[in-house]
Amino acid sequence: MLRFLVIGFLSLVGVNLLAAGDWRLNTNSYLTHWALDVSPEQAHAEYPRPTMTRPDWLNLNGIWEVGFSRTTNCPGFTNHILVPFPVESVLSGVRHMVNELEQVWYRRTFMVPAAWQGRQVLLHFEASDWETEVWLNGKDLGTHRGGYDRFSFDITSALKPGSEQELIVRVNNPIDAGGQPRGKQMLHPRLPYLHAASGIWQTVWLEPVALTSVESFRLVPDLDAGALHVEINGRGDTNDVIAEAVAYADGKEISRAQGQIGKSFSLPVPHAHTWSPDDPFLYDLKIALLQKGKKVDEVSGYFGMRKISVSKGADGYPRLYLNNRPGFEMGVLDQGYWPDGIYTAPNDEALRSDIELIKRLGFNMCRKHVKIESERWYYWCDKLGLLVWQDMPSGGTSALPKDREITRTPESAQQFEAELQRMIVDRGNQPSIVMWILFNQGWGQYDTVRLTKTVKELDPSRLVMDVSGWNDFGVGDVRSSHKYPGPASPEHDGRRAWVMGECGGLGLDIPGHTWGIMTSWNTTLFDSPKELTAGYESLLERIAEQKQKTGLAAAVITELTDAETEDDGLTTYDRDVVKIPTEQVKAANEKVLTKSTRLE
């Protein structure tokens, strides 16, 4: 049943020096059980960038001051907020519904560790929605526009030696009044849209680096060549610097290679142990910069050796191939929404739990729907073995089927394409991601042919879907249909794999675990878990038949969890109730994932 959690005042100790009682959880709210473990001291305390780690860092999550204004003038700070939860969320402690005219202002102080002296200090924001301006000790560091990508500032010159540092952040989120990528966010939600998540919604942190250091790197596994292609970008003076990559398997070095900064070179991976959902093997990686033979910087990461492609199967239909083997991708739609954190999971355990549940239910793939997650989410997909189809968050108006495409302003198109490129760069080293999806059902769809080509040129190592459902333009690697409950009739063009990008929509309300009392969205509402189970098994039988007889290559079931007024999840919104017994969902899925089409 719905839980009303009674949690006392919690205080932040140490760097914030704010008094006890500055944050409290709204007790009259719909919460997940992980909310019990949320505290200022443990607000997403894990290292936020698993693909590129350094030992020294400082987490700035916790209690911040917050205020609101309708101008770009800083208001008084009249409340406190738990970062990194969106201001609209229960877990923020604020639950303020921001409108498109409001500016959200944040303030906090911190001390830089004395051991960092002599190094550059970087301030990182993993994500803040949408326009974010940052000041440190009164110095304007700059403005970033984008709701889903990380951004950073070198704050070294703005620091006051040996003193407390004052950080002020202003965020404006136009929500659906703007044309920026926003996914399903809406100020006043109506189906199929959901609540907005404004302001800082992922980890804020500090990192000290050497004057010459690794800024980023790109990893492209090449299974056929038995190599990992590596491109390392440096920060500072890199004129006489050599880049080095070293691969490890089970703690033992297997190969090393060197190359020039900013240019691709190959790291041999002989007799590669492939990555797959059934065997998610990851190699450890060290990236270093060498100057006159001396190591001046080093970071750690990981990679997976896997290949995704489309080829004709023995039956003549285009099929999805993983590691040069045909397989069927059986997935679930995941919107990444939480009743207590909206866009932000209560903690890392909750992120991992969702992926573990998907695996227990017998799925090997997840479609991340019009949202880009924190890197920690993809890390767990990499670690636990889950294929990801990654949507680009939508924005702008919808192109109805008869309209085909919309016309964007040059400014709107430029912003969309900037954020699209950042998504591919930021998440490009995650082996779990095997497909980029450009548009969903015509939402903000424009210049489809050109943009599909652009995405493929940016990342030829992955598949590209031009649009999931509706306005297909015959480009990309995969043709997607949507049909509820489905599946649809085949739509083959002889070149692209045909998939069900969405189907299902089977609803069941669980008393005490619903968002509200209003009628929810579903395509078929059942009265009992037994009826829902029978409906799911029938759907999966039809999918298995389509796979066998008409060349269906993958299917995505809508959806993993209920989400606000959508009640078609396999679990309730709070994740407390799996509506169909796990073993029966898995058994139904395994009728589709026969041994010959498992992704091993």
- pLDDT 10s digits, 231-271: 999 999 999 999 999 999 999 999 999 999 999 999 999 99
The mean pLDDT of 580-593, rounded to a whole number, is 96
Strand partners, 284: 248, 302
* 448-458: b (≥16 Cβ within 10 Å) or e: beebbebbbeb
Enclosing H/E stretch for 289: strand 283-291
CA distance linking residue 183 with residue 454, whole number of Å: 21
Token pair 């940016």: residue: 458
In the predicted structure, residue 527 carries a pLDDT above the cut 90: yes
Three-state DSSP at 384 gives helix
The 8-class DSSP code of residue 597 comes to G
The mean pLDDT of 457-473, rounded to a whole number, is 97
Res. 24 pLDDT band, cuts 50 70 90:
confident
Q: Which of 34, 68, 93 is nearest to 353 (CA)?
A: 34
In the predicted structure, residue 516 carries a pLDDT above the cut 80: no
19 contacts: CB under 8 Å, gap ≥ 6: 11
What confidence tens digit (pLDDT) does each residue in 554-577 have? 999 999 999 999 999 999 999 999
Answer positive or negative: Cα dihedral of 44, 249, 355, 390: positive
Q: Return the pLDDT at 21.
A: 53
How is residue 446 written in tokens?
Answer: 């424009």
- Point out the least confidently predicted range of 173-187, 278-292, 469-483, 517-531: 517-531
Res. 518 pLDDT band, cuts 50 70 90:
low
CA distance linking residue 440 with residue 398, whole number of Å: 10
* 546-573: b (≥16 Cβ within 10 Å) or e: bbeebbbbbbbbbbbbbbbbbbbbbbbb
CA distance linking residue 8 with residue 22, whole number of Å: 11
Q: Return the pLDDT at 267.
A: 98
Q: Which of 502, 577, 130 is nearest to 334 (CA)?
A: 502
Across 10-19, 200-209, 403-412, the highest mean pLDDT is recorded for: 200-209
What confidence tens digit (pLDDT) does each residue in 500-510 have? 999 999 999 99
Q: Return the pLDDT at 598.
A: 53
CA distance linking residue 458 with residue 446, whole number of Å: 18
- Output the average pLDDT for the chain: 93
490 contacts: CB under 8 Å, gap ≥ 6: 498, 546, 550, 551, 552
Q: What percent of the chain has pLDDT over 70?
A: 95
The mean pLDDT of 328-345, rounded to a whole number, is 98
Contact between residue 238 and residue 259 where contact means Cβ atoms under 8 Å apart: no
- Point out the least confidently predicted range of 132-141, 340-349, 443-452, 488-497: 488-497
Q: What percent of the chain has pLDDT over 90?
A: 88
Q: Return the pLDDT at 594.
A: 73
CA distance linking residue 226 with residue 307, whole number of Å: 11
Q: What is the DSSP string of 404-460?
A: ------HHHHHHHHHHHHHHHHHTTT-TTEEEEEEEETTBT--SHHHHHHHHHHH-T
CA distance linking residue 25 with residue 35, whole number of Å: 9
Q: Return the pLDDT at 18.
A: 43
Q: Return the pLDDT at 520.
A: 74
The mean pLDDT of 517-537, rounded to a whole number, is 87
Three-state DSSP at 582 gives helix
Res. 519 pLDDT band, cuts 50 70 90:
low
Phi, psi values for residue 570, rounded to 5°: -70, -20
Cα 91 to the chain's mean position, in Å?
20
In the predicted structure, residue 6 carries a pLDDT above the cut 60: no
Contact between residue 93 and residue 65 where contact means Cβ atoms under 8 Å apart: no
What confidence tens digit (pLDDT) does each residue in 374-412 have? 999 999 999 999 999 999 999 988 888 778 999 999 999
Higher pLDDT, 519 or 368: 368
CA distance linking residue 62 with residue 59, whole number of Å: 8
Strand partners, 106: 66, 169
What confidence tens digit (pLDDT) does each residue in 66-124 have? 999 998 888 989 899 999 999 999 999 999 999 999 999 999 999 999 999 999 999 99
The mean pLDDT of 417-434, rounded to a whole number, is 98
The mean pLDDT of 211-216, rounded to a whole number, is 98
The mean pLDDT of 33-59, rounded to a whole number, is 97
- Count CA atoms closer than 13 A to 498's CA, side-chain side: 20
